[in-house]
Amino acid sequence: MERSLMTQTTAESPARRQRAQLKARTLRTDRWWLAPVLTFAALASFLVYGFWAMFDPSYYIAPYVAPFSAPCLLEVCPEGARVFGFAPIGDWFPLPPGVLVLGLPGGFRLTCYYYRKSYYRSFWLSPPACSVAEPHGKYTGETRLPLILQNVHRYFFYGSVLISAVLTYEAIVAFRNTDGEWGHMGVGTVILAVNAVLISAYTLSCHSCRHIVAGRLNHFSRHPLRYRFWGLVSKLNARHMLLAWVSMYTVLFADLYVRLVAKGIVTDITFF
Amino acid sequence: MSYKAKFRIWRGEGGEGRLEDFTVEVNEGEVVLDIIHRLQATQAPDLAVRWNCKAGKCGSCSMEINGKPKLGCMTRMSTFGEDEVITVTPMRTFPVIKDLVTDVSFNYQKAREIPSFTPPSDVRPGEYRMKQIDVERSQEFRKCIECFMCNNVCHVIRDHDENKQAFAGPRFLMQIAELDMHPYDVADRQDSAQDEHGLGYCNITKCCTEVCPEHIKITDNALIPMKERVVDRRYDPLVWLGNKIFKRSAAK
């Protein structure tokens, strides 16, 4: 009896309840800091460009509309820049048209499950990399305000589906020439078309889309069509990170290209 | 093709200890666990390490090698340079018993807190009829070998011991997702995932997925789908309204 008590005492001793008292923040020997540094630089530069583009007035040169200002909903928008010629917001909004619409794609990327991973790691260092200690004394994650608002992601997804449709429309009308006649194709047309495809692919690869399509179901067999769509979205979803980065750079490049053409810095090459 | 490798291994009982240096022979084709066994046989007979199958299927030899959670039996020595110092430490999130052996009872406690599979009361054993496509999604999660490296690497408890009470860790949130996706499970998993098992603590930084030796997509296929199901239940007014108007049942 005494012997078993002694054994139990040893098993319950306070020292046994401690983790290894390693002082180092991490024992990783690889360049774990490289990914968060590059991510920080890439995301920060995108934000800087986006902020500049929001206020830049050179967002239209027929037949191209810069994606950061699409859809152009104000009366100040040139006729060719409007979606189906409509300007539903009128003239009461005093800021450039990009300011009005960028919240949707911006919010979509801000609450995106992939971007959350990337900026939690690179901006907030929570954690900077796997098995590297974060510098914060307390952590509550997405359990309370403000981060609990990340759960609004699906509504940004709905909005981004509309934005994808608008970018697709803008890419289609870019096959018209400056006189509005079909049969035009320039470098800008190709860039806008590629951008529309990649933005749409990124939008459809979203985790919320995967859930809405059929992920919320427990009986796939009762919903064969939804199950088939779920399979397709799952294939895209496996490449969500890749699509997030590629579409981020294509939209930036497409936007910059249109603005440079509009400013007369670059001449758009016309194929036919 | 053998060479002498430099190892630094955590030695000590409980939390107190130190990194001890060893120089030890390495032969072609060996893994880290082989080298630890050679150290036991030649230089440190009292070096404690938990192991069993040596095939990456029992989940016993979880440890941290050069700071990364890995299975000792699946980490080839050929992945290191011959002049590289290899540091081997116990899993950081759990208390140390001795040397590389940790007390993982936190995980057993969390497993006990999750209600087991709960079928409808009017379906008796032997009456379950499920199509393959209804169960194959959650079969991925059954590959788990319970090495607990996902729970070990998760910063929610690795860096914040105080969260251990509120947070079940990726391994058990994945189990909740598996049960919630089960066609015959009728227990309420969504509210309890958020309120009792700490799903909201997960900030989807995907370290659990990175370290999983079974390559289970824990974050993409279990945690995020479970978060979306919680959004359906608690944060989406349209879904709530749809359920009210069309009187949709919880069974999907």
User: Rounded to a whole number, what is the distance in Å from the CA of B198 to chain A's nearest CA?
Assistant: 8
Across A94-108, A111-125, B175-189, least confident range: A94-108
pLDDT at B130 over 60: yes
Tokens of A131: 């098995």
Q: Between chains, do A218 and B252 touch, taking CB under 8 Å as contact?
A: yes
pLDDT at A89 over 60: yes
- The helix/strand/coil state of A59 is coil
Block residue for tokens 């027929």: A62
User: Rounded to a whole number, what is the distance in Å from the CA of A199 to chain B's nearest CA?
Assistant: 20
> What's residue A13's pLDDT?
52
The pLDDT confidence band at residue A7, using thresholds 50, 70 and 90, is very low
When divided into structural domains, chain A yields a total of 1
Name the average pLDDT for chain A.
91
Residues of A in contact with B207 (CB under 8 A): 127, 130-131
Q: Between chains, do B220 and A237 touch, taking CB under 8 Å as contact?
A: yes
Q: For B114, phi and psi rounded to 5 degrees?
A: -95, 120
Nearest residue in chain B measured CA to CA from A136? B159
The interface predicted TM-score (ipTM) is: 0.92
> What's residue B240's pLDDT?
83
Residue A106 lies in a domain: yes
User: Rounded to a whole number, what is the distance in Å from the CA of B38 to chain A's nearest CA?
Assistant: 23
Arithmetic mean of pLDDT, B112-122: 95
Q: Which of B182, B225, B234 sits opposite A215 (nearest CB)?
A: B225
Residue A42 lies in a domain: yes
Q: What percent of chain A has pLDDT over 90?
A: 78
The pLDDT confidence band at residue A88, using thresholds 50, 70 and 90, is confident
The pLDDT confidence band at residue A8, using thresholds 50, 70 and 90, is very low
Tokens of B230: 């919680």
Q: Between chains, do A18 and B231 touch, taking CB under 8 Å as contact?
A: no
> What's residue B252's pLDDT?
60
> What's residue A179's pLDDT?
86
**Residues A225, B132: Cα–Cα separation, whole Å:** 16
pLDDT at A227 over 90: yes
Bigger pLDDT: B9 vs A180: B9
Mutate to test the interface with A, among B131, B203, B223, B239 (most CBs of A within 10 A): B203
**Could you tell me which residues come within 8 angstroms of residue B223 by beta carbon, excluding any fewer than 6 positions away?**
B170, B173, B174, B177, B199, B202, B204, B208
Q: Which of A17, A131, A208 sits opposite B67 (nearest CB)?
A: A131
What does the DSSP assignment read for chain B?
--EEEEEEEEE-BTT--EEEEEEEEE-TT-BHHHHHHHHHHHT-TT-------SSSSS---EEEETTEEEEGGG-BGGGS-TT-EEEEE--SSS-EEETTEE--HHHHHHHHHS------TT--TT-----HHHHHHHHGGGG-----HHHHH-HHHHS-GGGTTT---HHHHHHHHHHHT-TT--S--HHHHHHTS-GGG-----HHHHH-TT---IIIIIIHHHHHHHIIIII-HHHHHHHHHHT--S--
**Could you tell me which residues come within 8 angstroms of residue B114 by beta carbon, excluding any fewer than 6 positions away?**
B168, B172, B175, B176, B179, B197
Q: Tell me the per-residue pLDDT of B43-61, one tens digit each, with 9 for 90 and over.
A: 999 999 999 999 999 999 9
Nearest residue in chain B measured CA to CA from A239? B220
* Residue type at A92 in one-letter notation: W
Q: Between chains, do B205 and A26 touch, taking CB under 8 Å as contact?
A: no
pLDDT at A3 over 50: no
Bigger pLDDT: B125 vs A158: A158
E strand or H helix at A64, and its extent? strand A64-65
User: Rounded to a whole number, what is the distance in Å from the CA of A235 to chain B's nearest CA?
Assistant: 12
Q: Tell me the per-residue pLDDT of B75-110, one tens digit each, with 9 for 90 and over.
A: 999 999 999 999 999 999 999 999 999 999 999 999
Q: Which of A14, A207, A227 sits opposite B228 (nearest CB)?
A: A207
> What's residue B204's pLDDT?
96
The domain at B105-246 falls in which architecture? Answer: Orthogonal Bundle (1.10)
Contact A85, A79 (CB under 8 A): yes
Nearest residue in chain A measured CA to CA from B186? A218
pLDDT at A16 over 80: no
pLDDT at A249 over 50: yes
Domain map of chain B by residue range?
3-102, 105-246
User: Rounded to a whole number, what is the distance in Å from the CA of A264 to chain B's nearest CA?
Assistant: 43
Residues of B in contact with A29 (CB under 8 A): 66-67, 84, 87
**CATH code, residues B3-102:** 3.10.20.30
Closest to B65 in 3D by CA, of B29, B25, B33, B23 = B33
Q: Between chains, do A140 and B252 touch, taking CB under 8 Å as contact?
A: no
Q: Between chains, do A120 and B235 touch, taking CB under 8 Å as contact?
A: no
What stretches of A74-112 show up as alpha helix (H) in DSSP? 97-101, 103-111
> What's residue A4's pLDDT?
43
Q: B3-102 with B105-246: one CATH topology?
A: no
Mutate to test the interface with A, among B88, B155, B196 (most CBs of A within 10 A): B155
Q: What percent of chain B has pLDDT over 70?
A: 98
CA-based radius of gyration for chain A: 25
> What's residue B162's pLDDT?
95
**Residues A111, A107: Cα–Cα separation, whole Å:** 6
Q: Tell me the per-residue pLDDT of A156-204, one tens digit each, with 9 for 90 and over.
A: 999 999 999 999 999 999 999 888 889 999 999 999 999 999 999 999 9
Three state DSSP letters for A3-54: HHHHHHHHHCCHHHHCCCCCCCCCCCCCCCCHHHHHHHHHHHHHHHHHHHHH
| β-strand pairing of A60-61 with B85-89 | unpaired
Q: Between chains, do A22 and B92 touch, taking CB under 8 Å as contact?
A: yes
Q: Between chains, do A15 and B14 touch, taking CB under 8 Å as contact?
A: yes
The pLDDT confidence band at residue B249, using thresholds 50, 70 and 90, is low
Q: Between chains, do B155 and A127 touch, taking CB under 8 Å as contact?
A: yes
Bigger pLDDT: A77 vs A154: A154
CA-to-CA dists, residue A188 to A58, A248, A270, B33, B158, angstroms: 15, 17, 9, 58, 50
pLDDT at A272 over 80: yes
Q: Tell me the per-residue pLDDT of B141-181, one tens digit each, with 9 for 90 and over.
A: 999 999 999 999 999 999 999 999 999 999 999 999 999 99
Residue A15 lies in a domain: no
CA-to-CA dists, residue A211 to B30, B142, B161, angstroms: 44, 21, 32
pLDDT at A9 over 70: no
Strand order in the sheet with B85-89: B18-26, B3-11, B85-89, B62-65, B68-71
Structural domain containing residue A225: 29-263
Q: Between chains, do B155 and A17 touch, taking CB under 8 Å as contact?
A: no
Q: Between chains, do A143 and B210 touch, taking CB under 8 Å as contact?
A: no
Q: Tell me the per-residue pLDDT of B13-25, one tens digit each, with 9 for 90 and over.
A: 988 999 999 999 9
